[in-house]
Amino acid sequence: MTNKFFKRGRWLISIFLVVSLLCSCTPPPKSAATPSGTGYEHYNAADVSMQKNFDLFTDDLFRNEISNSGISFHFTMADPASRGLKTVPLTLGDFSLDNMKKNSKDLAELKKKLNQFNPRKLTKDQRLTYQILYSYIDTEMASEGLELYTQPLTTTIGIQAQLPVLFAEYAFYKKDDVDHYLSLLSTIDDYYSQILEFEKQKSEAGLFMSDSAADHVLKSCEAYLIQPDHSFLSETFNTRIDALNDLTPEEKAAYKEKNLKVLEEHFVPAYKNLINGITALMGTGKNDKGLSWYPEGKKYFEYLVNSNTGTSYDSVDSLKKAIEKQITSDIKALGQITKENPKVLDQLDTYSFNVTKPEDILESLKSQIAKDFPELPKNQYTVKYVPKALESSLSPAFYLVPPIDRYEDNIIYINGNPRFQNDDLYTTLAHEGYPGHLYQNVYFLSKSPNDLRSILSFSSYSEGWATYVENYSYTLDNGLDPDLGKLLAHNSAVTLGIYAYLDICINYEGWDKEQTAKYLSTFYNVEKTDIVDSIYNSLVENPTNYMEYYVGYLEIMEMRNAAEKILKDKFNLKEFHTFLLDIGPAPFSVILPEFRNWLGKELRSS
C-alpha cells in the first residue's frame, strides 16, 4: 500500500470474513473457448440447464458469504430484501483458528462443486466468473497450514484501525438499521477477544509480531480511548439519527443515549482489553525482520504474492525481474526528460496545481478524462474529513466502496493531518475519485454484474488501476509544466517500484536493515536512517501491501505497452481503458488471456 490509501478491493469484506471471498492466481484446467459461429452464442437445452444451475450456484455462494458478517452484509446491499435476504447477521464474524481451518476444508468442497460445471457450456460472462473463482480457490488452498501467519492487527490497515471507520459510515436507511448497528457494535468486545486469542496462539507458535510492530498497533488502539460523549462515533451516530424521518424526537434521544451506553460498555473496553492483551504479549515476538526468517515464511510470502497481487508471473523471482525492468524503464524516462529540459528540475520544490479544493479537483478531473475513458452513469460523491482523533492512525485519503444497489452514492475521506500537507491532493483524488476507485467501481457496478463478482476482492486490480490513473493525472491540464508532470509521474512510479522490489528482498530473500540501507544509499542516495527505518519497518509489518499497488500498475503498463507496440497508430487509449474496465476486478493471470483475445480482435478490425 502506498502512503495514501486504505487497502482496497472490497476491503470491508476481506477484513471481516475469515476467508476473504476470492483472491486468485492459477488459470482453470479446462479450456473456456468461445463457441464458434456467427458472433452469437448457441446452446442446446442441456447447456441452458447448466447455465441456470451455475447462476444458482454463484447466487448461493454470494448469499452465504455476505451472511458471515453483519458489517459486510450491510455495506454490500442497501436493500437486502431485493435479493430475498431478510435476516441480518448480527455478528462481526468468527475470527478463530478453528474456523480458518474449517474454511480450508470448505474450499476443497467448493472446488469439487465447481468442477461439476463445464466452462465450455457456460455463457461468456459465466466463463469469466468460473475462471476467477477457480483461480481463487487454487490460490487460497495454498495457505492451508499457514493460518497462524495471518496478521489481523497492523498499523493503518489492521482491523483495529479500520473497523471504527466502517461503524462511522454504517448507513441508517430506516429504523431497523439503527437497531442492527447497536447490536453489532455491542459485539465488538467479543470479536476483539477472538482476535486476541488468535494473537496468543501466534505467540505460542513463535509467530507473534515484533515489539516495534506491537508498539505501532498499540498507538493506533489508543486513538479510540476517548470519552463516549466526545467520540466521533457518537457525533456521526447523532448526525445519522437526526436525518431519519421515521423517528420521533423522543425515540431519537433514546437511541443517542443507548449508543453512548454501548460505546462505554463495549467499544472502549474492547480497545482497553486489546491494549492490555497486546502489551502482555510483547517480548514474545522473536523476529523483527522479514517473513523469510520464520520457519515457513517464504512459503507464506509466495502465497501472499499470488493472493494479493493475482500476478500473471509464475514465480516471485520472475516477478522481481519484471519489477526491475519497469523501474529501469521509468528511470530512463526520467533521464530523457531531464536531458531534453534540464530546467524542469528547478520546478520540483515550487510547483503547484491550478485547482486545490477537493470538490473543484474532482470536477476538473471528471471533465478532463472524458477523452480517454468511457462515460459513467449518473453518480454523486461526498468528501469528508478524517476525525481529528484518528488523523495520526489513518491514511491520508481513502474511498469507501458503496453498496452494490446504491453505487450512485460515494464517499471519499481526506486526512487533514499536517504531516500529509505536502502530498499532492490533485493526484490523490485522481486515485480515489476520477478516474480511480470511485470511477472504476461505479463503472463496474453499473453494468449489473453477477452479484458474486461484485464482492470479489482483487486489490491489485483495483489499486493497480488507481495507481496507473494517478500517474496519468499528472499529465492532464492541471497547471503543471507538461515535462514536470511527466517527470513526477515517472518518479512516483519509481518510488513505488522500489518499495515493491524491497518487499521481495526483505520478506522473501531475507535482507536485514543494513542490507536495505546499503541498497538505498548505493542506488538512490538515501542516507537518512529514519527514512530507512520507516521503509524497512513498513515492509516488515505489511508484507506485499505495496506490491498490490505496484504489481497492478506493472501489469497494466505491460499490457498497454504491448498494445501500443502491436497496434501502432491504430492504438486507441479509450478502447484500452474500456477493455480493462469491462473485464472488471480479476487476477491478472485471468485478465492476460482476455487481453490477448482483445488485442487479436483489435488487430483484425484495424
Query: What would the pLDDT profile of 268-322 be if each residue is shown by its tens digit?
Result: 999 999 999 999 999 999 999 999 999 999 999 999 999 999 999 999 999 999 9
For residue 7, name the pLDDT band (cuts at 50, 70, 90): very low
Domain-located, residue 284: yes
Give the integer Cα–Cα distance in Å for 84 and 427: 41
Provide the 8-state DSSP code for 119. G
Same domain, 407 and 500: no
- The reply to whether 323 and 373 lie within a common domain is no
- Residues 23 and 113 both lie in one domain: yes
Q: Is the pLDDT of residue 229 over 90?
A: no
C-alpha cell at 227: 470519552
Total domains in the fold of the chain? 4
Rounded Cα distance between 588 and 224, Å, is 38
Enter the pTM of the model. 0.90
148 close to 217: Cβ distance less than 8 angstroms: no
Can you tell me the mean pLDDT for 196-205? 98
User: Is 487 within a domain?
Assistant: no
Is the pLDDT at 40 greater than 80? The verdict is: no
Closest CA to 24 of 95, 107, 122: 107
Same domain? For 166 and 256 the reply is yes
174 and 60 assigned to the same domain: no
How much is the mean pLDDT over the chain?
90
Domain hosting residue 230, numbered range: 159-288
Lowest mean pLDDT among 15-29, 38-52, 169-183: 15-29
Mean pLDDT over residues 174-197, rounded? 97
Weakest mean pLDDT among 208-212, 368-372, 391-395: 391-395
Sign of CA dihedral 86, 87, 90, 91: negative
Q: How confident is the model at residue 258 (pLDDT cuts 50, 70, 90)?
A: very high
* 409-414: strand order across its sheet: 380-385, 409-414, 397-400
- Is 151 part of a structural domain of the chain? no
Same domain, 206 and 300: no
pLDDT tops 50 at residue 490: yes
pLDDT at 117: 96
- Which DSSP letter does residue 210 get? P
* pLDDT at residue 393 greater than cutoff 80: no
pLDDT band at 422 (very low <50, low <70, confident <90, very high): low
The answer to the question of residue 472 being in a domain is: yes
Choice between 525 and 4, residue whose per-residue pLDDT is larger: 525
Angstrom CA distances, 569 to 556, 563, 565, 602, stand at 19, 10, 9, 12
**Does 28 score more than 60 pLDDT?**
no
Task: State which of 446, 479, 512 marks the end of a domain.
Answer: 479
Contact call for residues 462 and 431 (beta carbons, < 8 A): no
Integer angstrom CA distances of residue 460 from 397, 500, 581, 584, 597: 18, 12, 14, 12, 22
The answer to whether the CB of 487 falls within 8 A of the CB of 337 is yes
Strands 409-414 and 380-385: parallel
pLDDT confidence band for 9 (50 / 70 / 90): very low
Instruction: Out of 235, 256, 288, pick the residue that ends a domain.
Output: 288
Q: Give the whole-angstrom CA distance, residue 48 versus residue 182.
A: 45
Tell me, yes or no, whether 316 lies in a domain.
yes
Of 266, 102, 90, give the one whose Cα is nearest residue 192: 266
Q: Is residue 170 part of a domain?
A: yes
Return the minimum-mean-pLDDT range out of 84-88, 286-290, 529-533: 84-88
One domain, residues 592 and 602: yes
Residue with cell 462515460: 375
Residue 582 placed within a domain: yes
Domain end, chosen from 145, 178, 205, is at: 145
pLDDT of residue 396: 85
pLDDT at residue 439, rounded to an integer: 97
Pair 201, 141 in one domain = no
Lowest mean pLDDT among 34-48, 94-108, 162-176, 549-563: 34-48
Indicate if 273 and 305 belong to the same structural domain. Answer: no
Do 384 and 337 share a structural domain?
no
pLDDT at 157: 87
- The reply to whether 359 and 387 lie within a common domain is yes
In a domain, 150, yes or no: no
**Residue 473 sits in the same domain as residue 504:** no
What's the pLDDT tens digit per position in 126-152?
999 999 999 999 999 999 999 999 999
Tell whether the model's pLDDT for residue 15 goes beyond 80: no
Displacement of CA 323 from its chain's centroid (Å): 20
Q: Which of 161-170, 185-194, 413-422, 432-441 has the lowest mean pLDDT?
A: 413-422
Instruction: Encode 174-189: b = buried (16+ Cβ within 10 Å), e = exposed.
Output: eeebbebbbebbbbbb
Whether 38 shows a pLDDT value over 70: the answer reads no
State yes or no: pLDDT of 463 exceeds 70: yes
| Range 323-330 average pLDDT | 96
pLDDT grade for 376, boundaries at 50, 70 and 90: very high
pLDDT value at residue 41: 60
